[in-house]
Structure formats: C-alpha cells, structure tokens
A and B are shown apart, each in its own frame.
Chain A
Amino acid sequence: DTGVSQNPRHKITKRGQNVTFRCDPISEHNRLYWYRQTLGQGPEFLTYFQNEAQLEKSRLLSDRFSAERPKGSFSTLEIQRTEQGDSAMYLCASSPREGLSYNEQFFGPGTRLTVL
C-alpha cells in the first residue's frame, strides 16, 4: 500500500497524559499536513511541513501541541497534558511539491483520540 499511513489508528488516554501520533506520507510527496476533525465537522488545518521545515501553524495548535518532521519523511504530532477537548480524529495528509497537483492532498486513515 503506497498511501498515507497513520499509527496508531485509535488511542484512549487519561486526561493529563501525553500522546504521540505518527504519519508516514506518500514517499514522493514532500509536503505534509496535519488536520483535526471533530464530530459533524470538516477537517481543520493544524500545521504544514515542506520537507523538514514547519512553515505554518494554525491558532488551533496550542502550546501543548508540537509537530516534527526531522528527516523530511515521517512526521509526529505530540499532545502534552491532554484535555478532554483534545478528543478528535487527527488526520495527516501529503501532497506533491510541484505542478498543479501540489494542492491535491491525500489523507491517511486518521488517529482517533479519546481523552477520558
């Protein structure tokens, strides 16, 4: 399977714990995005990487959130001191660098986070 993969698919944690999610993009894509989706809503943009550089962060990305893409390949999203309001589906997407299709973002299956 050459699509975007995310691990884990589901995570249940207690409030106050730290969690980390991983995203592996499509191999030839150099752009990587994180989105958050809550029930009944469309995905909302969190952050964007071009290669290893984090170029943009949304206001939604509080200080408790940090994302990395150390070698320009896979990315991790960490949430520290989780709160119940962090419960959501966290989606990763990737897109090619050049050409018209750079806006075509391909999504992974998501990580469903539940904070108890």
Chain B
Amino acid sequence: GQQLNQSPQSMFIQEGEDVSMNCTSSSIFNTWLWYKQEPGEGPVLLIALYKAGELTSNGRLTAQFGITRKDSFLNISASIPSDVGIYFCAGSGSYQLTFGKGTKLSVIP
C-alpha cells in the first residue's frame, strides 16, 4: 500500500541537541499527525495538524503542516533520554491513516 516518505530513517544524537525529521507524500492530505512508538507498544499521538501552513507545539515538540499539504516536519528541542523511540508521521484524507516507515531516534546521554 501507499506509504509516506519519512526521513531520516534513524538518528543518533547527544542529549540536549535539537532534532528535526520530515515526511513527504505524492498525495494531498487533510490532516497530518505525528506519533511516537516504543518497543512492544502502540503508537502514541503527539501532535495533530489540520490546516496547510499550521505550526503547532506540544511542549518541546513543534510540527508544521506544509503549504502544499504534501509534507510535514517535526522538531524536538533539547532532547532527553526518554525521547528515544520511533517517530511516525501519518496523513489522513478521510478515515484511514497512511503511515511513514518511521524515524528511529536514539539519544546518547
């Protein structure tokens, strides 16, 4: 099935550094969402974006809905060890979510 192009695939960063990851699609979406998943668990919703150009923050996380409606990015500022996990972007046109393959984040203390 269709998947979003998410990059980078993995990142190793020092604690305290900022992180940026993005997601692109050939299709337009009405909603972009960002999830975090830890081993053996389901994805946890971090941020939802509803309007092209929208910039939304949730604590140290900031995400933007691209103007073209075909892309989104997620920034994490001042990373901490508990930020470790796999971050997924997801786009929604109506009911189903289409997911990227994820960005695996490792934080070195």
Given contacts A103-B31, A103-B33, A103-B48, contact A58 B1 (CB under 8 A): yes
- Inter-chain contact total with CB atoms closer than 8 Å: 72
User: What's the Cα separation between A66 and B95 when bound, in Å?
Assistant: 19
Partner of A103, one of B3, B6, B92, B99: B92
Total B residues in contact with A, Cβ cutoff 8 Å: 27
Chain B residues packing against A (C-beta within 8 Å): 1, 3-4, 6, 30-31, 33, 35, 40-45, 48, 50, 88, 90, 92, 95-102
Q: Are B40 and A42 in contact (CB under 8 A)?
A: no
- Minimal Cβ-Cβ distance residue in B for A59: B1
Q: Are A41 and B42 in contact (CB under 8 A)?
A: no
Closest 8 CB pairs of A and B: A42-B99, A107-B42, A45-B96, A103-B31, A103-B92, A110-B42, A107-B43, A109-B42
What does DSSP make chain B's interface, helix, strand, loop or mixed? strand
User: What's the Cα separation between A110 and B43 when bound, in Å?
Assistant: 9
User: What's the Cα separation between A6 and B48 when bound, in Å?
Assistant: 24
Chain A residues packing against B (C-beta within 8 Å): 4, 6, 31, 33, 35, 40-45, 48, 55-56, 58-60, 91, 93, 100-101, 103-110, 112
Which B residues lie within 8 Å of A105 (CB)? 33, 45, 97
Q: Are B1 and A31 in contact (CB under 8 A)?
A: no
Partner of B102, one of A35, A42, A55, A106: A42
Q: Are B96 and A104 in contact (CB under 8 A)?
A: no
Q: Are B96 and A33 in contact (CB under 8 A)?
A: yes
Which B residues lie within 8 Å of A108 (CB)? 42
Which B residues lie within 8 Å of A103 (CB)? 30-31, 33, 48, 50, 92, 97
